[in-house]
Amino acid sequence: MSASPRSLASRLTTRLFAIAGAALVVNMLAVGLYYGFDRRAMEGEVVEHRLGLVSEAFDPAEGRVEASARALYEAHPEAYAFVVADAEGRVIDAANPGLVPRRAFEEAAFADDWLAHRSSGTRKLLIGSKKMRLSGGDFRLVFVMRDDPARLMLSALLAEFVSHIWLPIVPVVVLLIAANAVLIRRGLAPVATAARWARSIQPGHPPAPLPAGDLPSEIVDLVDATRRSLDRLNDALSAEKRRAAEAAHALRTPVAVLAARLDALPPGPAADQLRADVVALARTVRQVLASANADALQVDESLRADLGAVASRVASALAAFAASRDVELDLELPPEPIVVAADPDALELALSNLVENAIVHGGAGVVDLTVGPGPEVRVRDRGPGIPPGAGRSLFQPFWRGADAAPGGAGLGLAIVERVQRAQGGEVLADSPADGGAAFVLRFRER
């Protein structure tokens, strides 16, 4: 079974997610490329961050940086260092001071903030200095980085991602996606309304009025165009039904006259065959007329039918036809009446076609007509059964199996299916294990 198609709202929301994701990726690449090509800016971010941590952790009264800010320097004594000095350049506190060149204080003395690179053997030092004023006086902080085993540069890059992308952009993107998803669904609500209206359309019936509401002009134009197309189709369908009914009515009289004249012929094989052919022709004319009436059938919801009473009328009307084909019609009625929501005349039309079909195609034997249990009528014959793989094709107009008995036009089951659909019921086909075919008319209880 193929998967059901995705809704337009779902597709638009998915595309919105894709656009938002692409915007995030582009911003991440832009930030990454910017700091990747501007290493000095990234180093400045690292130095500023480390100096800020030391400054916050420095207690001028104690003259010492708190232990929480010294963990990095203790873990990597060969790579990172800091020095806190007073205004005269005297060292107050330090971590790994051997990494700090003395010239750093001299060069930094003339600037509040200072960043430089210096060589130390085969390695380059990154040196940063910051002047701070606290209640105990003026102090200078110096930070040195020779290597980066703690990946401070990478941490700074990730911090830039957070500060420039995740914090300012992601919440806005999420809000925009949520707002647009709601707006998309609300904006497409008129389309769903038009779709429900289209699903309510039935062939041969005028379309229902469109639900009232503030619908966009495009939807109104689409519905109006659809309505005009349906009106033209309904007119054409009505004309076809009318022509079929007129043709069937016109043929009834000549067929009846032909049957009367054949009755005047002397008995004999040729006359008997002609009579059988005329009977088959008369049945086909009746079915064409019934098919036209079934297409135009409109059932009043308030109508009720007694299944037992209708089945009795059908059995009485077709008893002679069944006897002429050596078929015994066995009627089984329930002890109590079963009343269903159906048009009695339409029910009689459907059941008559179903029983006729069983008599014609079931061969000599017994045809069971059973009412109940529950709101259903069952017709079963003892013939060859339903052709393998027939499925719902049984109920298509003019469909006939390869081994179908002569005398039919393939309209009987199509009429039954149309009548049941118009009444809100259903017709089911089955092949019993002991042979034959069974059809069930099922109805809504009153």
> In this structure, is residue 276 part of a structural domain?
no
Residue 197: the pLDDT is: 75
Q: What is the CATH number of the domain that holds 109?
A: 3.30.450.20
CA–centroid distance for 216 within its chain = 24
Unique residue bearing structure tokens 């980066």: 148
The pairing of strands 91-95 and 305-306 is unpaired
Question: How big is the chain by its Cα radius of gyration, in Å?
Answer: 46
- Give the separation between CA 411 and CA 292, rounded to whole angstroms: 11
Domain enclosing residue 58, as ranges: 38-150
Query: Among the three residues 116, 132, 150, which one is the final residue of a domain in this structure?
Result: 150
Query: Among the three residues 150, 167, 195, which one is the final residue of a domain in this structure?
Result: 150
- Give the separation between CA 167 and CA 109, rounded to whole angstroms: 37
Identity of the amino acid at 252: R
Q: What is the mean pLDDT of residues 301-318?
A: 86
Q: Is 426 exposed, middle or buried (0-12, 13-18, 19+ CB in 10 A)?
A: middle
Residue 326: the pLDDT is: 87
> In this structure, is residue 53 part of a structural domain?
yes
Q: What is the CATH number of the domain that holds 373?
A: 3.30.565.10
Structural domain tally of the chain?
A: 2
Q: Average the pLDDT over each of 7-16, 364-373, 376-385 and give the range with the smallest value.
A: 7-16
- Give the separation between CA 366 and CA 19, rounded to whole angstroms: 70
Q: What is the per-residue pLDDT across 242-284, written as a single tens digit (0 to 9) for each?
A: 565 556 555 656 666 666 677 777 777 777 677 766 666 666 6
DSSP 185-196: HHHTHHHHHHHH
> In this structure, is residue 59 part of a structural domain?
yes
Q: Average the pLDDT over each of 15-24, 141-150, 260-269, 333-342 and give the range with the smallest value.
A: 260-269
> In this structure, is residue 145 part of a structural domain?
yes
CA–centroid distance for 13 within its chain = 14
Number of alpha carbons in the 13 Å side-chain half-sphere of residue 154: 5
Q: Which two tokens stand for residue 37?
A: 């090509």
Query: Does residue 416 contact residue 429 with C-beta atoms inside 8 Å?
Result: no
Judged by DSSP in three states, 115 sits in strand
What residue ranges in 34-173 does DSSP mark as E strands?
58-59, 64-65, 80-86, 91-95, 113-120, 123-134, 137-145
Is the pLDDT confidence value at 95 over 90?
yes
| Nearest residue to 146 (alpha-carbon basis) of 96, 46, 78 | 78
> In this structure, is residue 268 part of a structural domain?
no
Q: What is the per-residue pLDDT across 140-183, written as a single tens digit (0 to 9) for each?
A: 889 999 988 999 988 887 877 777 666 667 777 777 777 777 77
- Give the separation between CA 407 and CA 413, rounded to whole angstroms: 14
| Nearest residue to 91 (alpha-carbon basis) of 141, 144, 50, 129 | 141
Q: Which two tokens stand for residue 351?
A: 């059941």
> In this structure, is residue 74 part of a structural domain?
yes
> In this structure, is residue 328 part of a structural domain?
yes
> In this structure, is residue 13 part of a structural domain?
no
Q: Which two tokens stand for residue 251?
A: 């043929």
Query: Among the three residues 150, 165, 192, which one is the final residue of a domain in this structure?
Result: 150
